[in-house]
Structure 1
Amino acid sequence: MILLKIIGLTGGIASGKSTVTAYLRELGVKVIDADQIAREVVCPGQPAYQKIVAEFGGDILLPDGELNREKLGSIIFQNPLARKKLDQITHPAIFREMDKQIEEFKVQKPDGVVVLDIPLLIETEMQKKVDEVWLTFLPEELQLQRLMERDGLTRSEAAKRLSSQMPLKEKIKFAHRVIDTSGILLDTKKQAGDCWQKINQGK
């Protein structure tokens, strides 16, 4: 009996994961995006939104009532305890929605392959629930430079954000397949395509 195959795609901030997921979608792959779900579960009126406001106060809201993600991000990146509290609020809601979407896809294509795009795959031990772990990887110095350029951060600010995450050199221990994103875009796409082809060939 052929069963649904679940791939867990992870990486770190500015590691090229979004580039890989975008290309996988171009190939027709079903991708469930944890970050997108995370944005949806904290919309005004959602239970997680109400808990976040109760925990962090009204100062983290924009005039229209939406969460000020930049302000909330600056709080949690500087305060590990605050980050833990936010995770405790949002993670259960995110994982429930992911499970729901997996089941819906399974009904449509019980022998298919689905990719879960989860930045904190290893940190939340979700790697235990997937068949394979794919990791986007690049040297830390290059990751730091790309983060500075992408978000307009100082070196110190970027380094602080990287230090709040598990290093890629630690995550690589859990990976079944590694996509090196340090080169040009064409190289990254080729590696992602090769990984997808091997999955379809049962390799």
Structure 2
Amino acid sequence: MFVVGLTGGIGSGKSAVSRLFEQRNITVIDADQVAREVVEPGEPALSKIAQRFGDGILLADGNLDRKALRKIVFETPRQRDWLEQLLHPLIRDRILLKLEQSQPHSNAEYAILASPLLLETDQHLLVNHIVVVDVDEAIQISRTTARDMSDTEQVKAIIAAQIPRAERIAKADDLIDNSGTIDDLKPLIEQLHNKFLHQARQERESDHG
């Protein structure tokens, strides 16, 4: 199946873009959701995280305190490296499984892998085409602080830990400017949807040719 990789910096609006593709009956595999799944209670990764950081990293119901963990790893690069080495292979394997499972059950011509770390990890090797959702840093900060109730400095640290904006844009096959409203997005997504349908059909024909 033709797979489109969708990425962008924190606060760029990847979720809004994903929802517009889902409204067109396109399967969207959300790497953020997969990242939450691999640290759910009962998953081996959660036990390893608790062993390293202590039970204080867990909420009263046994779930991971994601906000506390985020604070630790963005203040201590060594801890972030350890966490990434633990989680990235698990996330990649589960994404692959979801892509495989989606194919027999989907009438769509293509699927989307939405991932904030598409270009920072080897997840970009799983896709045929890369779409970057882009806004300037000021919009990233204002949207993220409003959404997550995070402080500005923490959001800036997250932005600094992600791939630089210019590098992300340079790797894009298509670029979506999401500095406007949802109504501004809709015609752009419709154009891309039709483009991806065409590309997916071309690839399928070449495979069968």
> Could you tell me the TM-score, scaled by structure 2's length?
0.89
User: Partner amino acid for 2:50?
Assistant: V
Measured after TM superposition, the shift of residue 86 of structure 1 is 1.1
Match of 1:127 among 112, 124, 135: 124
Percent of residue pairs identical: 36
User: Partner amino acid for 2:49?
Assistant: I
Aligned to 1:175: 172
Q: What is the count of residue pairs matched by the alignment?
A: 200
Structure 1, unpaired ranges of 5+: none
Measured at CA, do residues 153 and 43 of structure 1 come closer, stay the same or move farther in structure 2, by a change above 3 Å? closer
User: Partner amino acid for 1:178?
Assistant: L
- 8 Å Cα contact 1:10/1:134 also seen in 2: yes
Match of 1:46 among 43, 53, 72: 43
Structure 1 position 199 matched with structure 2 position 196: yes
Structure 2, unpaired ranges of 5+: 203-209
- 8 Å Cα contact 1:5/1:111 also seen in 2: no
**Mean alpha-carbon deviation: is it higher for 144-153 or for 118-127?**
144-153
Aligned to 1:26: 23
Deviations 1:86-118 (CA, angstroms, capped at 9, x unpaired): 111111211111111111223345983110011
User: Partner amino acid for 2:177?
Assistant: D
Alignment partners' CA distance in 1, 2:37 and 2:150? 26
Match of 1:85 among 72, 82, 92: 82
- Residues 22-171 of structure 1 mapped to structure 2, 5 A cutoff: 22-109=19-106, 112-171=109-168
User: Partner amino acid for 2:94?
Assistant: E
Alignment partners' CA distance in 2, 1:71 and 1:173? 33
Alignment partners' CA distance in 1, 2:185 and 2:165? 17
**Mean alpha-carbon deviation: is it higher for 85-94 or for 105-114?**
105-114
Measured after TM superposition, the shift of residue 128 of structure 1 is 2.6
Aligned to 2:206: none
**Mean alpha-carbon deviation: is it higher for 24-33 or for 105-114?**
105-114
- 8 Å Cα contact 1:106/1:112 also seen in 2: no
> Tell me, what secondary structure is at the counterpart of 2:12?
coil
